[in-house]
Structure 1
């Protein structure tokens, strides 16, 4: 371990591992250290012994739900958008060779006290209970505008400037009802609150295009998920880094951070001293250099012995409960997966609920979600405060990642990756052209 490196990376969360892999491909000599004895940090997938030790230390796991090795429970419940930026990075870096993906069976939204499938094709749209006949026509007109819009063809703009008109004004232009606005904004554009309504429509347009493109890519839903859990993602990027010469050390606490002239210079561990002019780290390594965003996330990992009711016995689903539907300011998310994804013992399902905490009784805030998922065999809850770096790292060359938000996807994570990459290297991350059809089929691993 001792020696000189171009970059030292502390923590093996997904953000850190992607950056480690990308910088190794760029020819950087990378040393990657984690104080934990497993990959993934806050984005790890744990077996039940680890999970109970973390969230119910007074109640050790005793094989009541099958063999420990059959379980890989995500600490951060998210799915990949099949046309999203993380998928692009996976293809660009060829990390897809290390893992296999399975499509999530359906995307659902809560409305009027029940859940309904978000339509993934015209047939489903016609029969959907989410809106009436005339509203479906208005929705169809709105989506046709989104699909046909081309930046360089003014004739497709319908007299609208997406950088000036607010999203609420654009909805109103098509006469859409409040419930339809909820559906589009939260189940398709995947906003977690309604602040977007009063912002320029451009970003929401981009998000809807991403959603529609992701659904169109494989059908059924816009989401894919790696077999054996999300913890496979950081491990895949770690393997990539190692192939390009990266050095990894788990179970290695940092004893001292070294500085020269106020800038990062290296670290000291039980293995000796490693030097580098740059460090990338998760917030736990430099608590004095991060601040709270003022938000906390509650996550409930629920073990079930049945599929989620009203999902046609789907082996997996993403369910969004828009804040307006339950009198909240932030959406509630439910990610459900099963033994079909090799993350739990056969006959069991895992539903992970998450949201931003709004009251001093956060467990009660999850009640609408518990009603959706039905009876549970056990529930493990955790609360995490969200942190962000105080500065951009340009002065001391310490670049810190953001905490993982409660959103249902990884788009904000890849935004952080690209932002840190540019600050460290001085140039934008440029991804190669999309994969061929054969490569995409290999990526999906969809049968």
Structure 2
């Protein structure tokens, strides 16, 4: 996603976050009961990749039929997804035949959260309700572990357990933390860029 596409997508997400079906002032010229989602995407000049991501990963639609339907339901679905992250820490990741992991017309959804009660499945019910009908469901609970020793003395550097997030941000942070504990300094991404440029430069000269 390029810089300008990110800006347009951000404007779209801000619009969705502010949207209130009971407050016409938030519609910004859109009639939620008549304007199609396809026209809403056009309004924000979003590219096809962003449209696919929004429809299938955020709104959790299995087909593109929603594009020509009134936009209110889709906007509410996107709001529900973002609110689930902000309020309930429920994460949903969807993969399908497009990723060569499921049969045509089928998809695999992974719903995760950090368990806080004695009824874990009930905690993810808002996400499961969005995914209905579900053909098969598998529930598993894993313990979370973290190193008790930084490794500076023992020279044994241990990573943390994968958490409930699906975007690998915390995993990347853990990798950077391990590097800092091992090397005694932060990982220098700019130095890697310089080395990459040097390598490519040498190849061009050859």
Q: Same fold (TM over 0.5)?
A: yes
The reply on whether 1:351 has 2:109 as its aligned counterpart is yes
User: Would you tell me which structure has more strand in proportion to its own residues?
Assistant: 1
Aligned with 2:81 (options 300, 320, 326) = 320
- Give TM-score, length-normalised by structure 2: 0.58
Aligned with 2:121 (options 363, 374, 384) = 363
Correspondence for 2:50: 220
Q: CA deviation at 1:426?
A: 2.4
User: Would you tell me which structure has more helix in proportion to its own residues?
Assistant: 2
Correspondence for 1:392: 150
Distance in structure 2 (CA, Å) of the matches to 1:122 and 1:433: 31
Q: Residue 385 of structure 1 aligns to a residue in which SS?
A: coil
Distance in structure 2 (CA, Å) of the matches to 1:401 and 1:386: 11
Distance in structure 2 (CA, Å) of the matches to 1:308 and 1:346: 16
Correspondence for 1:120: 9
Correspondence for 2:179: 421
Distance in structure 1 (CA, Å) of the matches to 2:124 and 2:184: 43
List per-residue Cα deviations over 1:314-350 (Å, max 9, x = no partner): 9xxx97363599xxx6321111121011121222111
Q: Residue 356 of structure 1 aligns to a residue in which SS?
A: coil
Distance in structure 2 (CA, Å) of the matches to 1:419 and 1:334: 26
Do the aligned residues in 2 keep the contact of 1:321 with 1:333 (CA within 8 Å)? Answer: no
Distance in structure 2 (CA, Å) of the matches to 1:323 and 1:426: 37
Unaligned 5+ runs, structure 1: 1-81, 84-118, 138-215, 224-306, 437-447
Q: Residue 351 of structure 1 aligns to a residue in which SS?
A: strand
Distance in structure 1 (CA, Å) of the matches to 2:145 and 2:12: 43
List per-residue Cα deviations over 1:403-431 (Å, max 9, x = no partner): 11112311111111111112112232112
Distance in structure 2 (CA, Å) of the matches to 1:330 and 1:123: 23
- Give TM-score, length-normalised by structure 1: 0.29
Distance in structure 2 (CA, Å) of the matches to 1:391 and 1:127: 44
List per-residue Cα deviations over 1:383-403 (Å, max 9, x = no partner): 011111112111111111011
Correspondence for 2:74: none
Q: CA deviation at 1:135?
A: 5.3
Distance in structure 1 (CA, Å) of the matches to 2:85 and 2:16: 24
Distance in structure 2 (CA, Å) of the matches to 1:136 and 1:407: 32
Distance in structure 2 (CA, Å) of the matches to 1:423 and 1:126: 42
Q: 1:136 to 1:395 in 2, by over 3 A?
A: farther
Do the aligned residues in 1 keep the contact of 2:18 with 2:26 (CA within 8 Å)? Answer: no
Q: 1:430 to 1:311 in 2, by over 3 A?
A: farther
Distance in structure 2 (CA, Å) of the matches to 1:412 and 1:334: 16
Map 1:17-416 → 2, pairs under 5 A: 120=9, 122=11, 130-131=19-20, 132=23, 134=25, 220=50, 308-309=60-61, 312=64, 320=81, 322-323=83-84, 330-416=88-174
CA-based RMSD of the aligned residues comes to 4.2
Q: Residue 113 of structure 2 aligns to a residue in which SS?
A: strand
Higher relative contact order (CA 8 A, sep 6+): 1
Unaligned 5+ runs, structure 2: 3-7, 29-45, 54-58, 67-77, 198-206
Q: 1:324 to 1:388 in 2, by over 3 A?
A: closer
Q: Residue 120 of structure 1 aligns to a residue in which SS?
A: helix
